[in-house]
Amino acid sequence: MTERSLRAIRVEEFLVALGSSDPTPGGGAAAAVAGALAAALAQMVIGLAHRRAEDPVASTALAALHERAKALVAGFLDLADADVAAYGAVAAALGLPRGTSEEQERRRAAVQTALKQAAAVPLDTARKAVDVLSLVGEVAAACPKSAQSDLAAAARLAWAACSAALDNVDANALYIEDHDYLRDIAGVRRDLALEAENKAAWVLVPLEKKLERWLGERDSNPH
């Protein structure tokens, strides 16, 4: 892929790049883009709720949520670019010469540094995805009926973004030799996975119960 920011390319271009044999963009960038989609959907729902709000206090609170969602979209796009750069740093470190023992040690140190950054970026993506789930939970009570499916989609995408990002953390952690660092991020990784699952369920269970009512009605009254 070219060195252009993912912000500057069309959706179709991104998908072509993602589907190519080039290793970047890869799963980490895709997770970040999924997070951006989730945050953008949340932003839309919040905007709709804000437009309908009559209470000044609620209106102010929704305006603040809208700004948070907008910032999350931008943050995810930055992380998508950072993921591409992090993988490039790993590839560059792996390509360093290793003919002498000194070169081998320099290469090993460079690879380890790059791997830590390559794990840190998707860990940040997972954190932001959990932030989106928190945001979705905060706007759920004010969500217009017409936007319930959009809010459910935001929750699903944010949960998927978190899960996919953590898979990329795992992929890099497998080759990191710093056991203290691994111990530290392992706890964070477990907490994020559990938090994402719980927050997604808290939002999705009532939303999907409402959205799927037609299934029960159709089954009980086929005519």
Per-chain mean pLDDT for the chain: 93
**CA 198 – CA 54 distance, rounded (Å):** 31
pLDDT tens profile 6-64? 887 889 999 999 899 888 899 999 999 999 999 999 999 999 999 998 889 999 999 99
| Cα separation, 39 vs 25, whole angstroms | 20
pLDDT grade for 4, boundaries at 50, 70 and 90:
confident
| pTM of the shown model | 0.91
Phi-psi region of 176 (alpha: psi -120 to 50; beta: other; left: phi over 0): beta
Closest CA to 164 of 30, 40, 72, 39: 30
The answer, yes or no, to whether the previous bond of 122 is cis (omega within 30 of 0) is: no
- pLDDT value at 202 more than 70: yes
Q: What is the pLDDT of residues 93-109, one digit of tens each?
A: 999 999 999 999 999 99
What is the rounded CA–CA span in Å between residue 46 and residue 43? 5
Tokens matching residue 75? 């943050």
**Per-residue pLDDT for 221 more than 50?**
no
Is the pLDDT score of 219 beyond 60? no
- Mean pLDDT confidence for 154-173: 98
DSSP H helices in the chain = 11-19, 27-52, 56-94, 101-139, 148-173, 179-211, 213-220
pLDDT band at 3; cut points 50, 70, 90: low
Q: Return the percentage of the chain with pLDDT > 90, whole number.
A: 84
Buried/exposed code over 100-133 (b: 16+ C-beta within 10 A; e: otherwise): eeeeeeebeebbeebbbbbbbbbbbbbbbbbbbb
Q: List domains and CATH numbers for the chain.
A: 9-220 (1.20.120.680)
According to the model, what pLDDT value does residue 216 have? 83
| Per-residue pLDDT at 1 | 52
